[in-house]
Structure 1
Amino acid sequence: MKKIISIFSLVVLAGILAACGSDSGASSGSGSDDSVTIGYFPNVDHAAGMVAEEKGFYEDTLPDGTEVNYQYFPDGSAFMTAIETGEIEGGIVGPGPAMNHFTSGADINIVAAGATGGTVIMKRNGADIESAEDIKGKTFISPRVGCTHDVQFEAMMKDEFGITSDRLDGEMKHVTGKPATYSSMFESGKVDVAAVPEPWAAYIEAEGTGEVMFQNDEVAHNADMPASVFVTSEKLKEKDPGLIQNLVDAHKNATDFVNENPEESKEIAIEKIEEITDQKLSKEVVDSSWERMNFTYEVDEKEIQMFADSSYELQFLEEKPNLNGLVDTTFIEE
């Protein structure tokens, strides 16, 4: 089978590696019955997508003669639009965009997870922060308002320490920015705390501009909540469930490979990220990032609902969401 790789070029690594980035755009889709297009981000928690592409796992499960195309996305909104319009058949995205589009009426399904963990709370060196109480009056940054990492940080601060952001008339000032810039913003003193998706927490550590305040297993919804999920459209699922099964089988095989061959998978991730972004992450950064994630295709529907409830309680959502029908575990159970 033939594999066609379509590379979406970005100017900087910052926008494309942010789990809640704000830029948009992608390469052209498949648009053919004998071709399939898979989407993902060049993020460390999307390693299964990179491995599947490099090792040809989709070619192994799809019918002979199927062309496999790949699109690389800078943010969840662009990815979800591609799913809804049929530009891509499936792929890996953060859970936040999937939930948001589902609650807005999109007919999509989460059919597997990609990874859990990966969010770390960092504090700036010299920010005079020793405890959560010290964050009062300080400035924290997240990729976007109400994105996965923002919700995780604000839920933890509200539930465990009773501290909220200025958006809720609280005592923390919130700003947004691309995670690749957090280290320089720490160095300049522009922000004090960051809700950081990997690999940028490990990058900040390597640069020496900040240190971990709350490890990934201390952050709200970070232990079992998927950091990335595999999504497809409900319309395609109803039209061709066999195709969805093939895609999920390939994703499962790739995830198993990541867990059984971590060192080779890290090298694939480093090389793929460099190929797409023209920037190379160090082995040290990827090693540290890897330790804060768990690669799994098992998806916890209850955890996703609890995360959505936290978004509502923090007033990111106007109505309490009902996610019944979003998750379909049928294909990972086959």
Structure 2
Amino acid sequence: MDARRVRRVLAALAAMAITTVVAACGGGGGGTEAASSGGSAPAEVRLGFFPNITHATALIGVEKGLYAKHLGPGTTLKTSTFNAGPAAIEALFAGAIDATYVGPNPAINAWAKSKGQAIKIVAGAASGGVFLVVKPEIKSIEDLKGKKIATPQLGNTQDVALRYLLQEKGIKTDTKGGGEVSIVPQENSLTLQTFATGDIDGAWVPEPFASRLIKESGGKVLIDERDLWPNGQFVITHLIVRQQFAKEHPDTVKKLIEAHVEANDYIASDPAGAETTANAALEKLTGKPLKPEVLDAAFKNITFTNDPIASSLVASADHAVKVGLLEPVDLNGIYDLKILNEVLAAKGQQPVPDK
């Protein structure tokens, strides 16, 4: 079954499964903190992530066997990769995965659609590493009028960021590719081709795709998203879990988070080794490793952190509301960082806030 058909099937399942998810989670929305005991270890943990450098925590955790080590011999890790967050959320709602690395806006949408019953954010993963890359002749935001700009998927984090920026500049768009700037949601691998052929004029994409557009096709950075946020910090990737899975298997969630923290520690202590490890994982997933200059540039543009940078999540939700892709939503309770902070404390590291 090809990837497009898989996504269509998951989307259909999601429409039916979300009701089941909400019912199974109950009314409390308590996440891991509601569990009264450690629960039995599941035979399998299904983890999602993207083949992006912004998901290097997951790439490294899988490649170095950190998840398998912490989960132990009684539990098998099964992984799934996605192009963008909405597809990962569809899989989570359909019960196809238990946890996933994802960006802020899909997590917000999952929280909103399930009325706070389906997911919890349990750790941060990465900040930065997102750019609007355009053809050299485009000098300003105004120059985007009449142009085609790609994003990974309608409603994903980069899609919302682009639509919000254009709206703030008084430039009209719509969800069907119309308006003064035509926004074209497409898979990042396709964006590499369409930018090279001139079928699109730019793209708001995460690493390593931004660096590849620059180094392989002569693109230039028009917007570094870090410049749009206080102190240049915003969440681009965090780890979420299904609430029902967390209630049934809190000890397993803790093991996932222990592996997650160890992966981020490895990135901080050995950046060169982390680059090599992440590239090996990408080669296995995509069939082709990144060129050294692309890999190095991509890693330099990202800060890997256990802090979910909660304030930026709230702002992202506000942006999605303003561009018409989200109804106003109360995010109170979306974080459950209790286990993360226990893991950090055991390692002598500072806790991270959920506000």
Deviates more, 1:290-299 or 1:231-240: 231-240
How far, CA to CA, are the matches of 2:154 and 2:57 in structure 1?
Answer: 27
Post-superposition Cα deviations, 1:66-91, rounded to whole Å, max 9, x if no partner, equal 23323122243443344345544323
Give, in angstroms, the shift of residue 173 of structure 1: 2.2
Q: Do residues 123 (structure 1) and 131 (structure 2) align? A: no
In the other structure, the counterpart of 1:132 is: 141
In the other structure, the counterpart of 2:27 is: none
Q: What amino acid is aligned across from residue 149 of structure 2 in structure 1?
A: F
Give 3-state SS (helix, strand or coil) of 2:338's partner.
coil
- Check whether the contact 1:298–1:332 (CA below 8 A) recurs between aligned residues: no
Deviates more, 1:260-269 or 1:216-225: 216-225
Give 3-state SS (helix, strand or coil) of 2:339's partner.
coil
In the other structure, the counterpart of 1:205 is: 214
Unaligned runs of 5+ in 1: 1-8, 16-20, 26-31
User: Structure 1 pair 133/55, CA: closer, same or farther in 2 (3 Å)?
Assistant: same
How far, CA to CA, are the matches of 1:281 and 1:262 in structure 2?
Answer: 16
In the other structure, the counterpart of 1:273 is: 282
Q: What amino acid is aligned across from residue 339 of structure 2 in structure 1?
A: F
Q: From 330, 335, 349, give the equivalent of 1:322.
A: 330
Q: TM-score, normalised by structure 2?
A: 0.77
User: Structure 1 pair 108/227, CA: closer, same or farther in 2 (3 Å)?
Assistant: same
Q: From 173, 196, 201, give the equivalent of 2:205.
A: 196
Give 3-state SS (helix, strand or coil) of 1:331's partner.
helix
In the other structure, the counterpart of 1:108 is: 119
User: Structure 1 pair 70/223, CA: closer, same or farther in 2 (3 Å)?
Assistant: farther
How far, CA to CA, are the matches of 1:147 and 1:289 in structure 2?
Answer: 20
Give, in angstroms, the shift of residue 308 of structure 1: 1.0
Cα RMSD between the aligned structures?
A: 2.9
Q: Do residues 162 (structure 1) and 170 (structure 2) align? A: yes
Percent identity over the alignment is 28
Post-superposition Cα deviations, 1:141-189, rounded to whole Å, max 9, x if no partner, equal 2122222111112222333x33232559852222222222334323433
- Check whether the contact 2:132–2:223 (CA below 8 A) recurs between aligned residues: yes
Please state which structure has a larger fraction of its residues in helix: 2
How far, CA to CA, are the matches of 2:307 and 2:113 in structure 1?
Answer: 25
Give, in angstroms, the shift of residue 24 of structure 1: 7.7
Give, in angstroms, the shift of residue 217 of structure 1: 1.6
Q: What amino acid is aligned across from residue 111 of structure 2 in structure 1?
A: F
Unaligned runs of 5+ in 2: 11-40, 343-355
Q: From 62, 75, 92, give the equivalent of 1:67.
A: 75
Deviates more, 1:320-329 or 1:110-119: 320-329
